[in-house]
């Protein structure tokens, strides 16, 4: 899993300058009333990090586990991410994901086959949800950075 952790770290390094170049005003714009701003997307990715940290660690501790999903729109709205400072959000998101990469790097190989069922979906192996976490993150980063050449650096984790 070191390759997955390194890939996450490299993705963070690749996108950080482009994210930091986004202005506070631009980060706050909602493209439509029911669509997330860039701040809200990063907020969602913070929520994803915290939920996945729990999934990863709990699935390491048990061979099989059932986990609740989360109401992502509610989480984003309840935390008022659009009123947060952009640089603070991005800095926190990056730090949290460096911790996620650390968890992924040090997972015991024998735990990767442990399974998790999420809201009656699954079961999924721990290895799969760790790899899928990075793909989910990239999906949202592409929405934040649609007009930059950073998108060309993204490839499927299996091709990294």
Q: What is the pLDDT of residues 23-41, one digit of tens each?
A: 999 999 999 999 999 999 9
Of the candidates 99, 92, 107, the residue with the CA atom closest to the CA atom of residue 8: 99
Q: What is the pLDDT of residue 126?
A: 98
Counting residues of the chain whose pLDDT is more than 70, the rounded percentage is: 91
**Residues of the chain with pLDDT > 90: what percent?**
86
User: Phi/psi at 148 (nearest 5 deg)?
Assistant: -110, 160
Rounded (10°) angle between helices 126-144 and 38-61: 170
| Residue 40 · residue 78 · CB < 8 Å | no
- In the predicted model, is pLDDT for residue 160 greater than 50? no
- Give the mean model confidence (pLDDT) for residues 87-98: 98
Residues 114 and 98: their CA atoms lie apart, in Å, by 23
**Distance from C-alpha of 144 to C-alpha of 42, rounded to nearest angstrom:** 9
Highest mean pLDDT of the ranges 117-121, 126-130, 136-140: 126-130
Distance CA 133, CA 107 (A): 15
Strands 121-125 and 64-67: unpaired
Q: Tell me, what CATH number does 119's domain have?
A: 1.20.120.450
pLDDT at 151: 52
C-alpha neighbours within 13 Å on the C-beta side of residue 118: 15
Average per-residue pLDDT in the chain? Answer: 92
Count of domains for the chain: 1
What domain range includes position 6?
2-159
For position 146, what pLDDT does the model report?
83
pLDDT of residue 159: 47
Q: How far does Cα 33 stand from its chain's mean position? A: 23
């Amino acid at each position: 899993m070191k390759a997955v952790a390194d890939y996450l770290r490299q993705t963070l390094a690749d996108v950080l300058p482009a994210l930091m170049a986004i202005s506070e005003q631009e980060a706050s714009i909602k493209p439509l009333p029911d669509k997330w701003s860039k701040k809200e997307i990063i907020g969602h990715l913070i929520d994803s990090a915290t939920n996945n940290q729990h999934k990863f660690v709990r699935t390491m501790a048990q061979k099989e586990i059932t986990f609740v999903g989360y109401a992502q729109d509610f989480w984003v709205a309840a935390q008022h991410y659009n009123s947060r400072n952009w640089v603070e959000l991005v800095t926190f998101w990056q730090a949290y994901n460096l911790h996620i990469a650390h968890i992924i790097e040090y997972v015991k190989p024998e735990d990767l086959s442990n399974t998790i069922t999420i809201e009656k979906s699954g079961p999924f192996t721990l290895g799969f949800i760790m790899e899928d976490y990075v793909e989910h993150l990239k999906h949202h980063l592409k929405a934040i950075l649609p007009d930059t050449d950073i998108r060309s650096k993204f490839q499927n984790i299996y091709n990294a």
